[in-house]
Structure 1
Amino acid sequence: MKSNIVMKALVLALAGAGLAYGGYWAGMHQSTSQPATPAASAAPVAGDKIDPKTGRKVLYWHDPMVPGQKFDKPGKSPFMDMELVPVYADEASAEGGVKVSPTVQQNLGVRFATVRRAETRDSLEVVGTTQFDESLSEVVQSRVTGYIDRLYARAPMQRIKRGEPVASLFVPDWIGPQEEYLALKRSGNDALAAATRQRMQALSIPSGLVDQAERTGKAQSQLTLTSPVTGVITELAVREGAMVSPGVTVAKVAGLNKVWLVAEIPEALANSARSGMLVEAAPSGDANRKYTGKVREILPGVSTATRTLQARLELDNRDGSLTPGMLMRVRLGADKPVSRLLVPTEAVIVTGKRSVVIIAGENNSMQPVTVTTGRDIGEDTEILSGLAEGQKVISSGQFLIDSEASLKAALPKLAEATQAQGQARPGPEPTSTSTAPVYHGVGKVEKVSPQGITFSHKPIPELQWPAMTMEFVKPRPDAFSETKVGQDVEFSFKEGKDGSYVLETVTPVDGGKK
């Protein structure tokens, strides 16, 4: 609630400063329509209020916490325990801007940032999932007709090392040629034995098996199929006892030294991604683990369901820590840096139709500027037009976010600056609304005026207010005419549209002092 009061004070400060400037502009505009010399316009005239301490012309005095109320002479604030502050004529800010005192800036936590130019790399943050690198996949096939008499790999997704057995084949067609070869060797007919050996090679009988048959004197009919790479068995197409023929795939093994990462890139950012871009990826569950790689290729076609296209990335996985199906955050970066004009992202107010940045000028003035923004780079936003390097901007995130709705309505009015300056203490408008909540308080009447009644009231828990002395606005000048100074009263009030508090009822307490 306290932060709401402070924010309302800021909006009132902006509106009050805008009205002050509007009066100043109207006065200057009127003066230019009549002949006057520069010396005459600058010199004080009769009736001007002059600050004796500074010698500067004073427009009016006000309480910075209730800037909507203006006073024609100095004194103590009826709202807070403080002296009224003068508003000088030479403090009018530039067209479209306002002036906010350093005290209000400090209370609101306003921070400043400098528009800077920096070398940044084009980057794109997307998400993707890991897949097997199909270019590293190998197949285990049979080149002969036989029967699976034993499977060493029992199921898909089983890890396997290079040279480990996958399956054992019984090949009955190899028995006859080997026995014939052994018989010729025993008879000493080396010529026919050599011809038989060549025929066994044509039958795809490995030379190692023939040598083993020669040493043992028995025909070998078992063939062991091994894995050509270290990886994972992705396919296992046979079972024990099954018959296989030449060209039949027994298993498929995918290597894991590298993995593919298929990233989904929004269609609107399709031109930002290209082959060869450097990649930095991290698992969504562990941002501390980093993997590097590059964009292998951009796959053709856009998904009609998600309006994204896919980029195939290649990541180094020699440690084997990545497995297919992992969700990863991916950052794609260009090789060459680009010079860009940057401001903190929290300094940009996006209204939906335009983007606005509040720049800080001289003498604590603030002025809205419409800018054209580019891409977000970390915690900064690229500025394409509207600002220059070295300018100071308002970067206080809480100030900009909390007051965004008020700024949308206030900034156009401040930019026009055509309203005349109000009287020293204008009468209140009917600003209370029927839907606003009603608050109740108990206090003592300190002052009664046509504009309002000042109470020294007790704490009001509904608003988390402590005991204080402050003025409440009357709904009309003749309201509560029987209320006298010194009375103990009960009163109710609502919050008006301009942030003031409008009285609903004032009832003397029984036995109260009159």
Structure 2
Amino acid sequence: MSKQSAVILVLAFLATLAMGVGGGYWYATRWEPKVAGPTSETSAKAPLFYRHPMNPEITSPVPAKDEMGMDYVPVYQDTEATDQAPAGMVKIDPVIVQNIGVRTASAERRTLTRMIRAVGRVDYDEGFLARLHPKTEGWVEKLFVDKTGAKVQKDEQLLSLYSPQLVATQQEYLLALRNLETLKASPYPDIQRGAEELVQSTRERLQLLDVPEHQIRELEQTEKIYKNLHIHSPFHGVVVNIGVREGQYVTPQTELYTLADLCQVWVYVDIYEYELPWVKVGDKAEMRVVAVPGRVFHGTVAYIYPYLEEQTRTARLRLEFDNSDLALKPEMFANVTIHASRQVEAVVVPEAAIVRSGAREQVFVVRGPGEFEPREVKVGISAEGFTEILAGLETGEKVVTSSQFLIDSESKLREATAKMKEPQLGAINAEKQEEDAGKHEQGITPKESPAKDNHTSPIHSGH
């Protein structure tokens, strides 16, 4: 290698070395780690205490780790918080509010009404049921109506009954009539009056034994004793049950027939407890049954039973429906809609806005962009997707209707943290007051006090 080439190599090496040193100096002077120094206000402040990362009720005055090795979270004094802010106040970045899908609605005043839908069961009207029993002992001679379900008319003969007591009473009535005819011309008024009273009492005895009026008149006209007594239907209806057959011996305890008039029916409906405040006697009802498609039956609420069903925890209503054409049959199932007549004028919010936790109900009121205040309210009835607010909220205030459970969790965490801060802040304030008092004794005002030395971050300790 020539002497000229050696000089060129030395010069190139020196130039490269100079460039490296210059670049390193520029990089060292220009670059600064983002974590260096107490650049943020939070890092410059000492934490009040440290809380458990999973359970905020567990705290420590010094840094610590939980059972899984996670560091306790430092808790700083919130300089933005004021004494006027309510406990549990939540502040969330507006971007996060949008990301978690927070929706709001305004409290408004409106009239609440309700339609109650339930399943009903058709049954007999108990006021149009008749159970026929004989008033005396005897034997069934003839059944004129012998089929269950048969239709009968009012005063139609159902059966004939032979009773020795009825035969004897008829004989006594005829004797009383003859005796009255004989003593009618008696000069003694007491004897004549006694004969009349005997006729009257004997006739009443026949009536009390359910002897039909036409048979009594025939007995008076023909003076012929009838062997059999006729039992008649008391109204138009159908035979629900036949309790005897021909030749059977009966007593007053024997049920001869069960008759029902189906021109009007009852419908039983069970509703839930929270629907009871809406219903009252006289409310209109509509009913539809599968057996009569396309037809709507109209009725009314006739009675609200004063107790709840033990098994289902529901209240029973009795509705009345006209059934002149006998389209409705007992034991049918029906879909019933009750149009509650009660109307409530109230301040309401959507039902979804109510957060029910334990024995209280609360809503989250929007105080500003990203600011939500938990507020306990007193609720009333609910209808049409809205809930009545009796106390705690005014018309026009905005409440959260979605994602409020996420906000509720954050609110409870803030409230618990605030409660734990109180003793710490009290101690800090007491310490500050003692320090200020000492400075006043030395003639130094708080503004003249020397600034505390900032603790240097370990990253900068070597610079």
Higher alpha-carbon Rg: 2
Choose between structure 1 and 2: higher strand proportion.
1
Q: Which has the higher contact order (CA 8 A, sep 6+)?
A: 2
Choose between structure 1 and 2: higher helix proportion.
2
